[in-house]
Amino acid sequence: MTLLAFNKPFNCLSQFTPEPDSPAATLADWIDFPGVYPAGRLDRDSEGLLLLTDDGRLQARLADPKHKLAKVYLAQVEGEIDAAALAALRAGVTLKDGPTRSAGAERVEEPDWLWPRNPPVRYRKSVPTSWVQLTLREGRNRQVRRMTAHVGFPTLRLVRVAVGPYRLDDLRPGEWRVIDG
């Protein structure tokens, strides 16, 4: 069994094959390790920890929400996120596809270890930003972005830092490492 931790860069698809007419990079542009496949997904415009494995059962366990592995995200949001928005995120919000489970949500400072995004997040002098750490135990399409927008603080940048016991640690964008099992 092989398990890789990969720091997926911005504008990279969570797949090895390109999409027609898409300029986005793929995992094949970064990972030269045959036989591994992503366990879960990150959107093209999200960054951070993506796990890959050659073990189908492990892949299912890591990706399937019924196993309730905590996924930890750092989100830069538009505006100064407040206690009411954080409380709503913690309680769970109702999106178009139904209510979300309760989530861990706390305001944090921008991490000093975080790399600059390329291209940078749009800067507007009149609109401040803040950071929130979210811990989810489900994985809907674009869930973090939809949740923060629902409480009035749209996500500008999203970085996944952990999946269950696996952490991004010091991997830089585009770097990967084998995790000893």
Q: Cβ distance 90 to 135 under 8 Å?
A: no
Structure-block tokens of residue 151: 């409480």
Q: Is the Cβ–Cβ distance between 148 and 136 less than 8 Å?
A: no
Q: Which is catalytic among the residues 43, 54, 55, 82? A: 43
Q: Is 43 a catalytic residue?
A: yes
E strands, 16-175, in order: 37-38, 47-53, 71-78, 94-95, 98-99, 104-108, 129-136, 155-163, 166-167
For residue 165, what are the β-bridge partners? none
What's the rounded Cα separation, in Å, for the pair 22 and 103?
33
- Residue 70: other Cβ atoms inside 10 A: 13
Catalytic residue annotation: 43
